[in-house]
């Protein structure tokens, strides 16, 4: 079953038996769909659940802008001025802004994964489940 985002191949040819109908750009809706599915799992029959998010795709914040109300970052004044980019990026305003957005995207994504793991635990499935967190790409930052 696919809950959320998949762009490595068309879901209909990847073997999914069910594909969610939630907005693939809305992380919490994806989590809700996945956790609803996990509550319905019965017995010992193996299943595959792919939970895909847009959060760390750079295009999410570059093309749509960073929406403070939608993402609610927890950094005090919400300013990239106090972010230190990694050594691979220059210490420039554009790099600080990109790194700031990326850090908050990862923070949101971590919270979403936490909710899925909590659902696995609540349903009694966590002890017999393999969880893989992967990425299919690494986006260049604008100042790199």
| Average pLDDT for 139-143 | 59
* Beta pairing class for 50-52 and 2-4: parallel
Q: 46-80: string of b/e by CB count within 10 Å (b at 16+)?
A: eeebbbbbbbbbbebbeeeebeeeebebeeeeeeb
Is pLDDT of 74 > 60? no
Angstrom distance (rounded) from CA 117 to CA 137: 23
Cβ-in-10-Å burial (0-12, 13-18, 19+) of 103 comes to middle
End-to-end CA distance of the chain: 37
Question: What crossing angle do the helices spanning 27-40 and 93-122 adopt, rounded to 10°?
Answer: 20
Q: Would you tell me how many other CB atoms lie within 10 Å of the CB of residue 143?
A: 16
Provide the pLDDT for residue 71: 46
* Comparison of pLDDT for 11 and 46, the residue scoring more: 46
12 — pLDDT class (breaks 50, 70, 90):
confident
- For residue 3, which phi and psi values (nearest 5 degrees)? -115, 110
Q: What percent of the chain has pLDDT over 90?
A: 26
Provide the pLDDT for residue 120: 95
pLDDT digits (tens, 9 = 90+) for 21-58: 888 778 899 999 999 999 999 878 899 999 988 887 76
Provide the pLDDT for residue 34: 95
The pTM is what?
0.79
Q: What is the distance, to the nearest Å, from the Cα of residue 19 to the centroid of all Cα atoms in its chain?
A: 17
């Amino acid at each position: 079953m696919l809950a959320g985002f998949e762009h490595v191949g068309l879901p209909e040819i990847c073997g999914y038996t069910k594909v969610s109908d939630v907005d693939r750009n809305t992380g919490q809706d994806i989590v809700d769909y996945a956790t609803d599915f996990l509550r319905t799992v019965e017995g010992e029959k193996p299943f595959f659940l792919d939970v895909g998010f847009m959060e760390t795709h750079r295009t999410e914040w570059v093309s749509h802008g960073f929406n403070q109300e939608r993402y609610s970052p927890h950094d005090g004044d919400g300013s990239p001025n106090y972010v230190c980019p990694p050594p691979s990026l220059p210490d420039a305003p554009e790099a600080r802004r990109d790194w700031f957005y990326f850090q908050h995207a990862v923070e949101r994504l971590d919270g979403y994964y936490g909710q899925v793991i909590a659902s696995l635990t609540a349903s009694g499935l966590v002890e017999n489940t393999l969880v893989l967190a992967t990425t299919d790409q690494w986006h260049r930052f604008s100042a790199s």
